[in-house]
Copies of this chain bind each other. A is one copy, B any other.
Amino acid sequence: MRPKLTLKQIARELDVSISTVSKALKDSPEIGEDTKQKIKAFAKLYNYKPNNIALSLKNRKTKTIGIIIPEIVHYFFTTVISGVEQVANEKGYNVIVCLSNNSFDREVLNLDLLANGSTDGFILSLAKETMQKEDYHHLTEVINQGMPVVLFDRVVDEVHCDKVIIDDIIGAKKAVEHLIETGCKKIGILTTVDYVSVGKLRTRGYIEALEENDYPVDEDLILKIEDMENSEKEIGEFLKTRDVDGLFAVNEQFAVSAIGALRRQGRNVPEDVSVVGFTDGELSKNFIPSLTTVSQHGTRMGAEAAHLLIDKLERKPDEVESYKTVIVETSLVRRESTKN
């Protein structure tokens, strides 16, 4: 077992000073050609690589960005991570991933931990619990200390920072309008409770789309699901007494649960009921029938977030502070669960 090589060891070995070694390796003109060659050869031979931690300490930057998400076993979030990773890597940054598990405490804990020197900045999507508590002091604190933060997907006005979101309302409208265009007359929605911001917004898009097309908005056709565990049963009950011919689900899960329930009730998709989902994940692509859905382009969101963050990190200190929020467009992917 050969431990890592340091400048000091090279210096001792070659009988020069540490600074000479450092400068030689950086090809400084201060050092004589032959000395440089000797040192470089030695370093290459023994595969010297500078210690990142020491560099971080010296430079006061770590070249790593932290990303905190509510859960990782989740298609959308993985695509976002993928996007972040890609551009971070291009720019020479590492990505350190933490999970809040939708818990406020874990979010605070992770943030605190990473804020103490481990990361140069954060990309994060708020935990459900955090949004319920409406307590964002941990974020404002970190931002106050001069750490750039980019919020994505689950964002909140109270925190002043860059943001990356999708046009949830417009996305939902696209979905509902597609249902309308393909001839649906009675359109229901499967959504979440209102404190989940995206659920709320998508519901709003649903309502707006109906109103703009002079469809009546029937509260009885709106199902707000709180308990994800029992969503399947709840959806089944709901559909049993609603003779909708179009259905907008705010996520994949709800969409496939609905299709399953409908089929058990002898109703076919899309012949009797058209269904549109949200999030273009594995399920949407592979389900039978494959799902017409609103794609969120998670990878692009991640990439945008990473760009925003890195821009802030590499900004000259004299530039003026300003917060952007970029909106990544959604697009409707037409497949087999709706008519056309």
A146 within 8 A of B: yes
Report the separation of the CA atoms of residues A113 and B64 in the bound assembly, to the nearest whole angstrom.
11
List residues of chain B with CB within 8 A of the CB of A52. Answer: 113, 116-118
Report the separation of the CA atoms of residues A115 and B94 in the bound assembly, to the nearest whole angstrom.
12
List residues of chain B with CB within 8 A of the CB of A57. Answer: 53-54, 57
Give this chain's copy count.
Answer: 2
Interchain CB contact under 8 A, A4 and B145: yes
A282 within 8 A of B: yes
A313 to chain B, nearest CB (A): 15
A259 within 8 A of B: yes
Interchain CB contact under 8 A, A96 and B94: yes
0/1 interface trace, chain A 73-115, chain B, CB 8 Å (1 if under): 1110011011001000100001111110000001000001111
List residues of chain B with CB within 8 A of the CB of A256. Answer: 286, 288
Interface residues on A, range: 35 or more
Interchain CB contact under 8 A, A114 and B97: no
List residues of chain B with CB within 8 A of the CB of A283. Answer: 282-283, 286
Report the separation of the CA atoms of residues A194 and B259 in the bound assembly, to the nearest whole angstrom.
38
Q: Which residues of A contact B (CB under 8 A)?
A: 1-4, 47, 49-54, 56-57, 62, 64, 71-75, 78-79, 81-82, 85, 89, 94-99, 106, 112-118, 141, 144-146, 252-253, 256-257, 259-260, 263, 281-283, 286-288
